[in-house]
Amino acid sequence: MTHRIVTLPGDGIGPEIMAPALRVLEAVGEFEFEEHPFGGASIDMHGTALTDEVLDRCRNADAVLLAAVGGPKWDSTDPAKPRPEQGLLGLRKGLGLYANLRPVKPLPALYDASPLKRERIVGTDLLVVRELTGGIYFGEKTRTADAASDVCAYTRMEIERIARTAFQAARAKVTSVDKANVLETSRLWREVVSALHAREFPHIALEHVLVDNAAMQLLAAPRHFDVILTENMFGDILSDEAAMITGSIGLLPSASLGGDGPGLFEPVHGSAPDIAGTGAANPLAMVLSVAMMLRHGLGLPDEAGAVESAVERALDGGLRTPDLGGSDDTSKATRAVLDNLFVPL
């Protein structure tokens, strides 16, 4: 069976890391690729970060693979001007993607690449489950010359469905992160999560942690966490913080999933316009996003495992891109992964 993948290279280093991802996919199976402009590239071509046509093509694909969006070229404080990030928010909403999964598992070969002490990160294996379609990013926005507001709103349904995803993914414990000592949305969040836990998942441990304490504990004792469940903005911040446990944000993949439609798979890092065109981009987070697509989006766990093992073997063999303290460029990193890729029969 040939799977149809919509690819969105986007901006900055996006096209540079998309190319290695496609080479890896071609090595493990048969896929049909359909590329479209997205983010800043789409703004330049069409005046909007996501066109209706591209959204429709994404809806009809088996999976969507995104590289990166954004850059100073499109930065503006003018609310009337389109921004690349609007395309990402629109794509998530348009595909009904409400659950963002970000695994954080430092590899032994890179323990010393983390700014945290080795003894703190050894054995860390956590998953951030972030709600994607509600909260302050999607609430009503106002702006005058002297004031602005962003509404943070959540419904019981939105909270329950993301909480269910977290409990289903957990091995032993869910840490629900909120700000219930201040925010009314967080009080509803805590109430709904607790009720779902008692009703459907009493065999999974549940703890509630305030977001500021969670941020501290992520660095002080990351092994403490199994699954971190949190709302949209808190999850955005905490998952980027968690990247430092692995040594580089250039290593973290993500999957955005919803109902019956295609999932969206992308690296956690941004478009890194400062290194675009230099050949220094680390493609490993993009390659690991391919693995998440194979596993969660296309039902190909053996192929996903092969890709993940290839990345680990490449790093064990000494591969180090500049963000990891080495000098290996994008091309060499790609070659190292492909040389260590053993495709299951």
Active site residue 226: no
Q: How far apart are CA 262 and CA 267, in angstroms?
A: 17
Active-site option among 111, 179, 323, 328 = 179
| Token pair for 50 | 């996501």
List 150, 173, 240, 329, catalytic entry: 240
Structure tokens at 131: 């709600």
Are 33 and 293 in contact by the 8 Å Cβ rule? The answer is: no
Contacts of 106 by beta carbon, 8 Å cutoff, 6+ apart:
114, 121, 122, 124, 245, 246, 247
The yes-or-no answer on residue 154 being catalytic is no
- Catalytic residue, from 212, 274, 316, 339: name it: 212
**Cβ burial 118-139 (10 Å sphere, 16+ → b, else e):** eebbeebebbbbbbbbbbbbbe
Query: Of the listed 137, 154, 178, 323, which one is catalytic?
Result: 137
Going from the C-alpha of 223 to that of each of 104, 116, 184, 298, the distances in angstroms are 11, 13, 30, 30
Q: How far apart are CA 164 and CA 158, in angstroms?
A: 10
CA angle 220, 223, 227 (to 5 degrees): 110
Q: Which of 11, 62, 178, 236 is catalytic?
A: 236
User: Among all chains, which residue has been given the structure tokens 């690349």?
Assistant: 84
329: annotated active-site residue: no
- The secondary element (H helix, E strand) that includes residue 165 is helix 156-169
Residues 6+ apart with CB under 8 A from 343: 27, 28, 303, 306
Tell me which DSSP letter residue 50 carries.
S
* 137 assigned to active site: yes
Q: Is 98 a catalytic residue?
A: no
**Cα–Cα distance for residue pair 196/113, rounded to 1 Å:** 39
Instruction: Compute the half-sphere exposure of residue 133: CA atoms within 13 Å on the CB side of its CA.
Output: 21
Catalytic residue IDs: 137, 179, 212, 236, 240
